[in-house]
Chain A
Amino acid sequence: MRAVEALEQFARAQGVPEKIIFGLMLALEECGSNIVNHGLRRDALRKFQVTIELTHDTFVIELRDRGPAFDPTKAAEREQPKEEDAPGGWGIQLVRRNIDEMQYTRVDGENILRLAKRVGGPDHSPSVS
């Protein structure tokens, strides 16, 4: 996914630790492919928008799409990882493990998903909390 590569380059240029970069890439990949596969029904002509932003201590990924209303934060509460080979829910679980905050809103026919990850201040040292 092009947006994932862009995120990787941006985060690396900003000196974000590699482990956190991996988690952010994973979160974007999972949420992005979920939008493509379900929200946009794999229609290559339909697009969704990704914004990435780094403030002094927080990395924010915002995904916007015009697919049917879908709140992944609710799905995350409902879906539990299965013992057997049923990967349903793994994607959202991976997002949860790597992101500190997930917020969903539906505004004017648009799904807006905001993922935030604390990266630990200007020097990006791991946060102690």
Chain B
Amino acid sequence: MPLEIKIQKDADPKKSGVVTITLVGSLDTATAPELDRQMMECLAGRVSDLVFDLAGLKFVSSAGLRLFTLARKQMVARGGKASLINMQPQVEEAFAIIQSLPGFNLFRDLAALDRYLAERQGSHTQNS
């Protein structure tokens, strides 16, 4: 099964720096290198929050988990956050291994993520 990768920068000025990577299909040994490439290209720019929308992710192996932890590491290094949203029950078992790692945010849906981002952006404004 192939993997479709869509990378979107949030147009909402209140969410500047928020980049969403939507994954549809299978993230495995064969498809992980392309996501790795696109993700690194994306992280070369200004990104404060990296969000993975997993609503369409049907399969993930350790090659995929490695990329999520890599993203997390990069985001933590720049004071940002990596978030996972819309994870389907089918793939939860694979994620169980990395979910407990610190620095990952897990949100059930977009509404929950939006509430979190609004708070984060609010605290940025207060701090600046």
Q: Which residues of A contact B (CB under 8 A)?
A: 1, 4-5, 18-19, 22-23, 25-26, 29-30, 33, 36-37, 81, 83, 85, 87, 90-91, 93-94, 97-98
B61 touches A22 (CB 8 A): no
B90 touches A18 (CB 8 A): yes
Specify which of A22, A37, A94 is in contact with B90 (CB 8 Å cutoff).
A22
> B59 interface residue, CB < 8 Å from A?
yes
> B43 interface residue, CB < 8 Å from A?
no
Interface size class of B (residues with CB under 8 A): 20 to 34
Chain B, 1-60, CB within 8 A of any chain A CB: 1, 28-30, 59
Residues in A whose Cβ lies below 8 Å from that of B110: none
> B105 interface residue, CB < 8 Å from A?
no
A87 touches B61 (CB 8 A): no
Distance in angstroms between the alpha carbons of A31 and B70 in the assembled complex: 22
A8 to chain B, nearest CB (A): 8
B62 to chain A, nearest CB (A): 4
Task: Tell me which of A18, A33, A37 has the highest count of chain B C-beta atoms within 10 A of its own C-beta.
Answer: A33
B1 touches A5 (CB 8 A): yes
B61 touches A94 (CB 8 A): yes
A1 touches B30 (CB 8 A): yes
Residues in A whose Cβ lies below 8 Å from that of B96: 97
